[in-house]
Amino acid sequence: MRFYNTNKKSASVSLKEAALKGLASDGGLFMPQRIPRLPDKFFKTIQALSFQDINFAVAKNFLGADISDNDLRKIVDSAINFDAPLKKLSGNIFALELFHGPTAAFKDFGARFAGRLLAYLRGDSKDKLIILVATSGDTGSAVASGFFNVPCTQVVILYPSGRVSNLQEKLLTTMGGNVLALEIKGTFDDCQRLVKQAFVDAELNNHLRLTSANSINIARLLAQLFYYFYGWAQLKNQNDNVVISVPSGNFGNLTAGLMAKRMGLPVAKFIAATNINDVFGEYLKTGKFRPRLSRPTISNAMDVGNPSNFARMLELYDHDVNKIRADVFHARFTDAQTKKAISQVFQKYRYLMDPHTAIGYLGLTHYQKIHHNCNGIFLATAHPAKFSEIIEETLKQKIEIPKRLKKYQRRKKQSVVLPNEFKALKNFLLNL
Ligand SMILES: *Cc1c(COP(=O)(O)O)cnc(C)c1O
């Protein structure tokens, strides 16, 4: 399949070019030229399929012409080698847990898949590929883990100094090997801006092969389609009123959900749940998109003032806000509401939620108050232990850290501190 540029100023590109470039040279995003519709039979028989079978079937629609079944199966299976269980909280409230991968956030799906896909597409090419990624906390470690020890790649992560949780920072800065962490004296928006600037800087691109592994990379987005199908398949009662609430920041996760719907997944409505950084909510209300600086919250991976997948959503809906409104409901929540939800859900269901997941839960239950009788799934995007400081402060009790995460806590942070200036980043990269 070929991929077009959302700016539409250049011709479509191959899978390899889209995945290796990440972002088009004019700043546009890549989108699949076609979003295939899956046959009804697929949905009728989906409950008999394993997670791996579903992943492969979905991926084949986009990548089948470029990659043999055998190779694609290997890529998909080795990338998604962990489960995404649907947990029932009550009769019509379910959590789809996406945090069972190595860095305990849903970003493991996209990052692991992108790492393997890129390695496959490059074959035995020997020139060093620099994977440049801005993170508000979770992307960086997922990408670091997804690309760890992939030959001829150097991962460079930019993260906002002092704005990530302890465990997030340890996951980011202690990987070693081909992973470097740059601690930027600024916000996530600054990190994202620096990365975008690097991609369009002629001198840098003449000297280095840069690629992005942010959710702007289409390879990441494709793997995020998988769990929507699997989550739906795990519902016992697949009535025609299934809604899915997605805690959103850069809107990669939601965009993948909307693409799954376009492929035929019977979801009545998506709920875009955000923290107070709700530029998208404002767009739905007013029809005007006014990106601005982000404000820090306890759901830091969603502190985004200029969501990078917005252009993709516009493409999916022909730039028509009314069409988006028909599929997407928006709700926003404050830190106080988030903490209250963490504590209420723990009291009521003994279920622990991280702050991002709590916003997903709040979005769903808010929607269910207005629209009764719908079957709701909220995406649990990070393991609660990743945000233990906030949860322990909220619940006034200690929570357990899983063994696989504990080992990072003991490691020593290693980062390079850089000022919030493009010149500094550029110099650093040219001297790598
Ligand atoms: C990145 C992230 C989000 C937001 O996902 P987007 O695709 O950027 O909208 C939500 N929750 C967690 C835990 C994340 O790491």
| Beta-strand relationship, 86-90 and 93-97 | antiparallel
Query: Each residue of 275-331: pLDDT tens digit?
Result: 999 999 999 999 999 999 889 999 999 999 999 899 999 999 999 999 999 999 999
| Beta-strand relationship, 375-380 and 86-90 | unpaired
When pLDDT is cut at 50, 70 and 90, the band that residue 196 belongs to is: confident
Average the pLDDT over 29-53 and give the result. Answer: 95
Residue among 114, 112, 109 at smallest CA distance from 98: 109
Reduced to 3 states, what is the DSSP secondary structure of residue 311?
Answer: helix
Could you tell which of 107, 214, 216, 244 is best to mutate to test the pocket of ligand 1, judged by most ligand atoms within 8 Å of the CB? 107
- Find the angle CA(407)-CA(412)-CA(414) to the nearest 5 degrees: 125
Cα 270 from chain centroid?
16
> Among the atoms of ligand 1, which is closest to the Cα of residue 251?
9
84-105+224-395: CATH topology: Rossmann fold (3.40.50)
> Among the atoms of ligand 1, which is closest to the Cα of residue 253?
7
Helix (H) or strand (E) holding 130: strand 129-134
Cα 66 to Cα 368: distance, rounded to the nearest angstrom: 42
When pLDDT is cut at 50, 70 and 90, the band that residue 25 belongs to is: confident
Distance, CA 201 to ligand 1 centroid (Å)? 27
Most confident of 122-136, 157-171, 269-283: 269-283
Q: How far is CA 65 from CA 62, 71, 252, in A?
A: 8, 12, 24
- In this chain, the answer to whether the domains covering 84-105+224-395 and 108-218+410-430 adopt an identical fold is yes
What's the pLDDT score for residue 109?
96
Share of the chain above pLDDT 70, in %: 100
**Per-domain residue ranges for the chain?**
35-81, 84-105+224-395, 108-218+410-430
Most confident of 90-99, 138-147, 183-192: 90-99
Type of residue found at 88: K
Could you tell which of 253, 304, 354, 386 is best to mutate to test the pocket of ligand 1, judged by most ligand atoms within 8 Å of the CB? 253
Please check whether residue 139 is in contact with residue 160, taking contact to mean a CB–CB distance below 8 angstroms.
no
Query: Each residue of 380-428: pLDDT tens digit?
Result: 999 999 899 999 999 999 999 888 888 888 899 999 999 999 999 999 9
108-218+410-430: CATH topology: Rossmann fold (3.40.50)
Reduced to 3 states, what is the DSSP secondary structure of residue 129?
Answer: strand
Cα 207 to Cα 201: distance, rounded to the nearest angstrom: 10
What's the pLDDT score for residue 26?
81
What's the pLDDT score for residue 404?
85
DSSP string, 190-243: HHHHHHHHHHH-HHHHHH-EEEE-STTSHHHHHHHHHHHHHHHHT-S---S-EE
Does pTM top 0.85 for this prediction?
yes
| Beta-strand relationship, 129-134 and 93-97 | unpaired
Tell whether the model's pLDDT for residue 215 goes beyond 80. Answer: no
What's the pLDDT score for residue 23?
80
Average the pLDDT over 30-59 and give the result. Answer: 96
- Give the CB-side neighbour count of residue 41, counting CA atoms within 13 A: 2
